[in-house]
Amino acid sequence: MNLWFTEHHSPNVKFSIKVDKHLYSGQSEFQKIDILQTPEFGRVLTLDGLVMCTEKDEFIYHEMITHVAMATHPHIKNVLVIGAGDGGTVRELVKYPTIENIDMVEIDQMVVDVCMEYMPQTASKLTDPRVHLYFEDGLKFVRKKENEYDLIIVDSTDPFGPGEGLFTKEFYGNCYKALTEEGILVNQHESPFYEEDALGMKRAHQKIMGFFPISDVYQVHIPTYPSGHWLFGFASKKFDPIQDLDASAWNGLGLETRYYNPKIHVGSFALPNYVKEQLKDVEPKH
């Protein structure tokens, strides 16, 4: 049998992964959930037919969505994670003994249940006693919060379907309010490369900038996402991701990472000119 998974990366581009076995397929209240066993990427989680994470490259995404903020702000104790049902972001956060509480708000409990069973590599730390799981809409959850979190990580799907609300002005404004005076917001920021993704990333930047005095974007290389070139947003009330990075303090923690290090941290904020231009397009002109 010759079985392949295919995702459209643009209306004119398809990306295919050879599949050994279709391990799981289910339809939740919110989306279609599939787990594939593949020879190149190991297990792959897809939602509504889009790759969310693979065993082989998820470390890049999850380390970079977590450690950049953690190495910048020295006193992060209370963290809110939105989305992130596969558990990879939480796995990275629990490496820090200084974090006291992690609230994780995932709209779809079935994603967590399926990942607990099929993706233990990412999901196994969801049982850490500091982690509190809430199965509800992140958009509604943050409305009720004020001056509570040192860090909010938005580990969402793309800006359509169940993740759409996590790309709105209302949501970013409520994140601002839910953060402490020194708080940082890191979000899954789409890709600059194909038109549709670039539109999503520009819109997100425009909205986030309206609330935060520091609003930067940094890049990563994720082989299984459209174009492989992906961005995260770093929005902050006080800390600058480069000036305030304490590389020796972070190195002193002795954490094991396969992608992140303080040099990559600094380098990831150096953007190609075409990306800088896209961001400038939506920034207010002075």
| Binding footprint of ligand AG3 on the chain (CB under 6 A) | 50-53, 61, 84, 86, 88-89, 155, 157-158, 188, 225-226
Using alpha carbons only, give the angle 141, 220, 57 rounded to the nearest 5 degrees.
85
Please report how close the Cβ of residue 268 comes to ligand AG3 at its closest, in angstroms: 17
Whether the CB-CB separation of 24 and 43 falls below 8 Å is answered with no
Q: Residues in the chain, how many?
A: 286
CA diameter of the chain: 60
Structure tokens at 32: 């279609």
Whether the CB-CB separation of 219 and 197 falls below 8 Å is answered with no
Non-local CB neighbours of 73 within 8 Å, separated by 6+ positions: 150, 151, 182, 184, 236, 239, 244
Closest to ligand AG3 by CB, 89 or 268: 89
Active site residue 155: yes
Closest to ligand AG3 by CB, 31 or 188: 188
Name the closest residue to ligand AG3 (Cβ): 50
Structure tokens at 72: 């910048």
Closest to ligand AG3 by CB, 61 or 118: 61
Catalytic residue among 86, 108, 150, 155: 155
Q: What is the DSSP letter of 285?
A: P
Closest to ligand AG3 by CB, 61 or 239: 61
Closest to ligand AG3 by CB, 115 or 175: 115
Query: By three-state DSSP, how is residue 233 classified?
Result: strand
Active-site residue list: 155
